[in-house]
Amino acid sequence: MRGKRPTILEPMSPKPRTRKSTLVRTIALGVPLLFFLTGCSSVSGLGFSKGLSSVNDTSLPLWQGAWITALVVGVFTAGLILWSSFFHRKKNEEFPRQIQYHIPIEVLYTIIPFIIVAVLFAFTARDESRITAKSPSKVMHNISVNGIQWSWQFEYPEAGPNAIVTGTPLNPPVLYMPQGERVAFTLKSSDVVHGFWIPAFMIQIQNLPGVTNHLEFTANKLGDYPGRCNILCGRDHSRMLFTVRVVTPAQYTDYINSLKAAQ
């Protein structure tokens, strides 16, 4: 049997650059660069708003930075794919020269992702410790959030030991917060793991049975914001809803007084 052995290509001498190839190269490299630079001048909230809560102020730049990193990596990778597809396409049928164990490239594509992950981790750890830090001064308000299958209990100790608002899947509860005043939350669970999640405030913290979690934050703008459980916790998990109602400090005092009067 006569088999045709693959031919190993010798390195080709570089072709002189034409005007057309220079133009194509300029477009291929310039468009992603332009896209990147214009994106930097005004980065959108990418689904989140600035300043709604004290957590947004810390989390939003992290969220935007992670997306910019992903964009740069994505554009660079797509550029490499397009570059090799367009500028290294051989027109003849011969089998190309095969390269194995190119140590410098293998080291490079191991180290670069490691550096990216390490930088993202460092910023995440820094911001997480800022978000979970306790206020040096005494906070003005305390609210306890208890996860139950399948709703929420909000306790307002300022209004007395029995000031507990319990929701149901049919009647989701309302969590009142005073605008601009820091609230210390205590988070716990009566049964399984739940996730206390206020998407607009970029807040998610777990309610764990047998463990008490703490989080302090300030709500900055008046209004109603949807909240939900984001840990699959059983049959009616999807109905474990609540509303965060940010009111003026005076309205919050009225609400606390109404809870006191109801006992």
Distances from the Cα of 23 to the Cα of 19, 38, 173, 255, angstroms: 6, 21, 62, 68
Q: Phi/psi zone of residue 212: left (φ > 0), alpha (ψ -120 to 50 degrees), beta?
A: beta
- Residue 148 Cβ vs Cu ion, minimum distance, rounded to whole Å: 9
Q: Which positions from 145 through 164 interact with Cu ion, judged by CB under 5 A?
A: none
Secondary structure of residue 83 in the 3-state scheme: helix
- Residue 33 Cβ vs Cu ion, minimum distance, rounded to whole Å: 46
Q: Which residue has the tokens 């606390």?
A: 256
32 vs 227, beta carbon nearer Cu ion: 227
Contact with Cu ion (CB under 5 A) among 175, 177, 202, 229: 229
In sequence order, the 6+-apart residues with CB closer than 8 A to the CB of 55 are 131, 201, 202, 203, 217
CA 103 to chain centre: 35
What single-letter DSSP state applies at residue 157?
G
Contact with Cu ion (CB under 5 A) among 143, 240, 246, 247: 240
56 vs 146, beta carbon nearer Cu ion: 146
- Residue 232 Cβ vs Cu ion, minimum distance, rounded to whole Å: 8
Which of the ranges 7-15, 50-58, 68-76, 238-246 carries the binding residues for Cu ion, by CB under 5 A? 238-246
Number of residues engaging Cu ion in binding (CB under 5 A): 4
- Residue 172 Cβ vs Cu ion, minimum distance, rounded to whole Å: 12
Rounded CA-CA distance 263/259 in Å is: 7
Which of the ranges 45-53, 160-168, 218-226, 234-242 carries the binding residues for Cu ion, by CB under 5 A? 234-242
The type of residue at 111 is: I
What are the φ and ψ backbone dihedral angles of 168, each rounded to 5 degrees?
-135, 165
Half-sphere exposure of 180 (CA within 13 A, CB side): 5
22 vs 166, beta carbon nearer Cu ion: 166
- Residue 153 Cβ vs Cu ion, minimum distance, rounded to whole Å: 12
- Residue 160 Cβ vs Cu ion, minimum distance, rounded to whole Å: 27
Q: Which positions from 93 through 152 interact with Cu ion, judged by CB under 5 A?
A: none
Secondary structure of residue 44 in the 3-state scheme: coil
* Stretch 188-227: interaction string toward Cu ion, x if CB under 5 A: ------x---------------------------------
Residues lying near Cu ion in the complex (CB under 5 A) are found at: 194, 229, 233, 240
